């Protein structure tokens, strides 16, 4: 890799030098040739002027023999070919060829230019001589007679001069190339060596050695690069030190946490675990082991696999060796790792179970005396005067409320322990319509309008008795907390879900109460609840029934309206 980099720099410099020199050679040869032709043309023009001056007297007398002698004399001394042509293009005299055998020259470029402009010049291939020649022609006028005097010379002499120049240049070219070879090698080493040094130092830094420093004894951009490199190493070392401290601090925090914590990579390997997680799963030295070997629990592995495959956060609760454990799997996208936290809630579940058992037992124990009290109150109503009857009615009202609370508590406990429902295909529109027929008179008695709207719905598999409880509780709550306006029940179908909406124009629910209204015994308006006989358990019962049907329930309140929505999934 290093040699390739060195060669790339060297070859690049060398080839740039060769291309520059070669371009200069081509440019020089072209310009030298053009300059030589220009100089030769000027010399020929002087010869033309001399010839013209010598032949003008004889040309007016048409002494062509004398003119021919003059042409040959000048041609012998200069080596130029001299030709005389009339305005029709006929060759009258020529120093090299027999004029009678020569073709008409009226189409020659230099002749045409001379006839039109007075002078003409061209470089072209001569058919007569079979070589490239330089032609220069001038116009002569003698007593209204027109002639063209032309002088030409072969370019072979110029070409020879160019070749001599080219040969000398080639020698210089190879000398310069040799020199550039040495210079390129020197420049390449001068540039490459400090860069190679920096590459070597960067390799040591990548291996964790932050003690290295680049020392460059020169004053240019590479020195600036070396200084920047040294500064970068210092900052990286500082960042690594800070990161190491933060990591150690984080590890200490994780190790002292009461909750179990694990970091698991995408392959299931445990990267980090604390003592709490080892205690929860009755294992030691979890780091480096595979999670599937350590925790052989299908529910745990299913949640872990789902989080890893779907790359999202997953929560759940599992039973592991008589322990109740809440799991939270948090997927870290940029690291492709999962942070798992475990909470042992065995004692919480135990207390919750004892609480439920106490509520059930207390409810059963209270049911009998409350029923007896109810019976005695009803018997005494017929035997006391009106003054005492007033107190018995108050007693009867509170006894009824206690009986309702006991019944609702027993219902709630029954639902919490229920594992399966007695489902059957049900027409939800018909079921709701029957409930509304029972509840509508109660609403109308308060002067409320009652609306029932629905779409054509497919049949849905539900526990009919429990779904009746949901509808009765929601509609009864709406009537109880609405003094004017309307109650509206809406059934609609969207994709694979059916929605039951119960809307009223009652007192509404504050935002702070939204999250707690499904808690047992929680009521929004305690004074109104006591007057209406509410137990504070109706919505808790509704929520449990909806959850048993794997549905959802949520509430919206604002703008003078409150709406409860139950979402149920269709089986198909």
Q: Tell me how far apart the alpha carbons of residues 98 and 189 are, in angstroms, rounded to a whole number.
A: 70
At 499 the pLDDT is 92
**Is residue 221 assigned to a domain?**
no
Find the largest Cα–Cα distance for the chain: 179
Are 308 and 391 in a shared domain?
no
Q: Tell me how far apart the alpha carbons of residues 315 and 323 are, in angstroms, rounded to a whole number.
A: 17
Give residue 304's domain range. 257-344
Residue 258: pLDDT band with limits 50, 70, 90: confident
> Counting runs of H as helices and runs of E as strands, what totals does the chain give?
14, 17
What is the pLDDT averaged over residues 467-489?
88
Question: Which of 161, 180, 202 is a domain's end point?
Answer: 161
CA dist 121 to 85, 129, 153, 525, Å? 15, 18, 12, 117
Phi and psi, residue 486, nearest 5°? -150, 165
Are 406 and 506 in a shared domain?
no
Question: Which of 143, 161, 179 is a domain's end point?
Answer: 161
At 311 the pLDDT is 83
How would you write 37-86 as a 3-class SS string?
HHHHHHHHHHHHHHHHHHHHHHHHHCCHHHHHHHHHHHHHHHCCEEEEEE
Q: Tell me how far apart the alpha carbons of residues 147 and 95 are, in angstroms, rounded to a whole number.
A: 16
Are 407 and 330 in a shared domain?
no
Torsion sign (Cα): 305, 310, 313, 318: negative
Q: What is the pLDDT of residues 285-312, one digit of tens each?
A: 788 888 888 888 888 888 888 888 888 8
pLDDT at 103 over 80: yes
Q: Tell me how far apart the alpha carbons of residues 455 and 143 are, in angstroms, rounded to a whole number.
A: 121
Stretch among 58-67, 318-327, 375-384 having the lowest mean pLDDT: 375-384
Structure tokens given for 194: 């400090």
| Angle (CA) 559 564 570, round 5° | 140
Count of domains for the chain = 4
pLDDT, the chain, mean: 78
Rg of the Cα atoms in the chain: 56
Phi and psi, residue 122, nearest 5°? -160, 155
**Is residue 189 assigned to a domain?**
no
Are 332 and 470 in a shared domain?
no
Are 27 and 64 in a shared domain?
yes
- Please state the separation of Cα 200 from the chain's center in Å: 34
DSSP 290: B
Q: Tell me how far apart the alpha carbons of residues 313 and 416 are, in angstroms, rounded to a whole number.
A: 27
Specify whether the CB–CB gap between 318 and 299 falls below 8 A. yes
Are 35 and 143 in a shared domain?
yes
**Is residue 210 assigned to a domain?**
no
pLDDT at 193 over 70: no
Where are the strands (E) in 143-289, listed by range?
A: 145-154, 260-265, 270-273
How does 549-571 read in b/e, with b if 16+ C-beta sit within 10 Å?
bebebebebeeeebbbbbbbeee
Where residue 100 sits, what CATH number does that domain have? 3.30.450.20
Secondary structure element (H or E) that encloses residue 328, with its range: strand 323-332
Residue 521: pLDDT band with limits 50, 70, 90: low
Q: What is the pLDDT of residues 107-141, one digit of tens each?
A: 888 888 888 888 888 888 776 667 778 888 888 88
Which positions ≥6 away from 424 have C-beta within 8 Å? Answer: 461, 462, 463, 464
Indicate the length of the chain as a whole number. Answer: 572
At 2 the pLDDT is 46
Are 57 and 43 in a shared domain?
yes
At 1 the pLDDT is 43
Stretch among 42-46, 186-190, 270-274 having the lowest mean pLDDT: 186-190
Q: What is the pLDDT of residues 175-187, one digit of tens each?
A: 777 777 676 666 6
At 10 the pLDDT is 60
**Is residue 361 assigned to a domain?**
yes
Are 389 and 519 in a shared domain?
no
Are 428 and 395 in a shared domain?
no
Q: What is the pLDDT of residues 367-422, one digit of tens each?
A: 677 677 767 677 777 777 777 777 777 777 777 677 667 666 666 666 666 667 77
Are 363 and 270 in a shared domain?
no
Specify whether the CB–CB gap between 323 and 344 falls below 8 A. yes
Q: What is the pLDDT of residues 443-464, one digit of tens each?
A: 888 889 998 988 888 888 888 8
Structure tokens given for 58: 């004889």
Q: Tell me how far apart the alpha carbons of residues 99 and 59 are, in angstroms, rounded to a whole number.
A: 17
Q: Tell me how far apart the alpha carbons of residues 111 and 388 are, in angstroms, rounded to a whole number.
A: 152
Of the chain, the percentage scoring pLDDT greater than 90 comes to 2
At 189 the pLDDT is 66
Phi and psi, residue 466, nearest 5°? -75, -35
Are 463 and 389 in a shared domain?
no
Helices (H), 91-220: 109-117, 156-206
Q: Tell me how far apart the alpha carbons of residues 154 and 160 are, in angstroms, rounded to a whole number.
A: 11
Where residue 461 sits, what CATH number does that domain have? 3.30.565.10
Q: Tell me how far apart the alpha carbons of residues 84 and 93 are, in angstroms, rounded to a whole number.
A: 5
At 217 the pLDDT is 59
Q: What share of the chain is helix, strand, coil (3-state, %, to 5)?
A: 55, 20, 20
Structure tokens given for 225: 């690069």
Q: Identify the residue whose tokens are 């001056």.
A: 53
**Is residue 182 assigned to a domain?**
no
- Please state the separation of Cα 144 from the chain's center in Å: 90
Better-scored residue on pLDDT, 413 or 261: 261
Q: Kindly give the interhelix angle for 2-61 and 156-206, rounded to the nearest 10 degrees.
A: 160
Q: Tell me how far apart the alpha carbons of residues 281 and 275 are, in angstroms, rounded to a whole number.
A: 10
Q: Identify the residue whose tokens are 């305690």.
A: 526
**Is residue 245 assigned to a domain?**
no
Q: Kindly give the interhelix angle for 538-548 and 464-480, rounded to the nearest 10 degrees.
A: 150
Are 72 and 142 in a shared domain?
yes
**Of residues 297, 54, 28, the one with CA closest to residue 170:** 28
**Is residue 91 assigned to a domain?**
yes
What is the pLDDT averaged over residues 22-36?
68
Question: Which of 391, 416, 441 is a domain's end point?
Answer: 416
Better-scored residue on pLDDT, 195 or 326: 326
Better-scored residue on pLDDT, 11 or 557: 557
What is the pLDDT averaged over residues 504-530?
68
Residue 54 exposed, middle or buried by CB count within 10 Å (0-12, 13-18, 19+): middle
At 362 the pLDDT is 65
Q: What is the dihedral angle through the alpha carbons of 392, 395, 397, 398, rounded to the nearest 10 degrees?
A: 180
- Please state the separation of Cα 295 from the chain's center in Å: 37
Specify whether the CB–CB gap between 300 and 320 falls below 8 A. yes
**Is residue 408 assigned to a domain?**
yes
């Amino acid at each position: 890799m290093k040699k390739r980099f060195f060669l790339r720099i060297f070859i690049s410099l060398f080839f740039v030098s060769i291309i520059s020199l070669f371009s200069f050679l081509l440019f020089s040869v072209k310009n030298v040739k053009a300059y030589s032709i220009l100089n030769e043309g000027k010399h020929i023009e002087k010869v033309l002027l001399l010839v013209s001056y010598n032949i003008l007297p004889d040309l007016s007398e048409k002494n062509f023999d004398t003119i021919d002698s003059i042409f040959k004399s000048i041609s012998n001394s200069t080596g130029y070919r001299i030709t005389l042509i009339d305005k029709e293009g006929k060759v009258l005299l020529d120093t090299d060829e027999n004029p009678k055998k020569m073709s008409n020259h009226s189409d020659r470029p230099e002749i045409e230019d001379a006839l039109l402009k007075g002078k003409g010049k061209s470089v072209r291939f001569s058919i007569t001589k079979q070589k490239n020649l330089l032609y220069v022609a001038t116009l002569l006028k003698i007593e209204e007679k027109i002639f063209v005097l032309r002088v030409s010379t072969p370019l072979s002499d110029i070409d020879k001069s160019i070749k001599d120049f080219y040969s000398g240049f080639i020698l210089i070219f190879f000398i310069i190339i040799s020199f550039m070879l040495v210079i390129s090698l020197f420049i390449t080493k001068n540039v490459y060596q400090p860069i190679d040094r920096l590459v070597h130092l960067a390799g040591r830094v990548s291996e964790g050695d932050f003690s290295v420093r680049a020392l460059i004894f020169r004053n240019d951009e590479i020195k600036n690069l070396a200084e920047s490199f040294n500064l970068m190493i210092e900052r990286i070392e500082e960042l690594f030190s800070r990161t190491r401290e933060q990591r150690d601090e984080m590890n200490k925090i994780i190790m002292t946490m009461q909750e179990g914590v694990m970091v698991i990579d995408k392959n299931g390997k445990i990267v980090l675990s604390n003592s709490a997680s080892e205690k929860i799963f009755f294992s030691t030295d979890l780091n480096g082991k595979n999670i599937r070997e350590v925790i052989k629990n299908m529910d745990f592995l299913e949640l872990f696999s789902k989080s890893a495959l779907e790359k999202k956060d997953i929560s759940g609760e599992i039973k592991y060796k008589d322990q109740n454990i809440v799991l939270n799997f948090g997927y870290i996208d940029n690291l492709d790792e999962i942070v798992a936290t475990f909470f042992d809630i065995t004692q919480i579940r135990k207390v919750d179970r004892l609480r439920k058992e106490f509520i059930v037992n207390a409810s059963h124990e209270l049911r009998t005396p409350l029923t007896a009290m109810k019976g005695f109150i009803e018997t005494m109503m017929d035997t006391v005067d009106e003054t005492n009857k007033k107190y018995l009615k108050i007693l009867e009202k509170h006894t009824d409320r206690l009986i309702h609370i006991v019944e609702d508590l027993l219902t709630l406990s029954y639902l919490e322990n229920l594992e399966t429902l007695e489902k059957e295909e049900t027409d939800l529109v018909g079921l709701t319509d029957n409930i509304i027929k029972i509840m509508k008179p109660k609403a109308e008695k308060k002067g409320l309008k009652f609306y029932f709207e629905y779409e054509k719905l497919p049949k849905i598999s539900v526990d009919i008795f429990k779904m009746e409880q949901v509808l009765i509780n929601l509609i009864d709550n709406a009537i109880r907390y609405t003094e004017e306006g309307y109650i509206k029940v809406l059934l609609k179908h969207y994709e694979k879900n059916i929605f039951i909406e119960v809307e009223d124009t009652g007192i509404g629910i504050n935002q702070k109460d939204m999250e707690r209204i499904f808690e047992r015994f929680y009521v929004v308006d305690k004074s109104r609840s006591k007057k209406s006989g509410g137990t504070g358990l109706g919505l808790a019962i509704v929520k449990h029934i909806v959850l048993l049907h794997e549905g959802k329930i949520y509430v919206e309140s604002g703008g003078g309206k409150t709406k409860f929505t139950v979402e149920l999934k269709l089986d198909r």
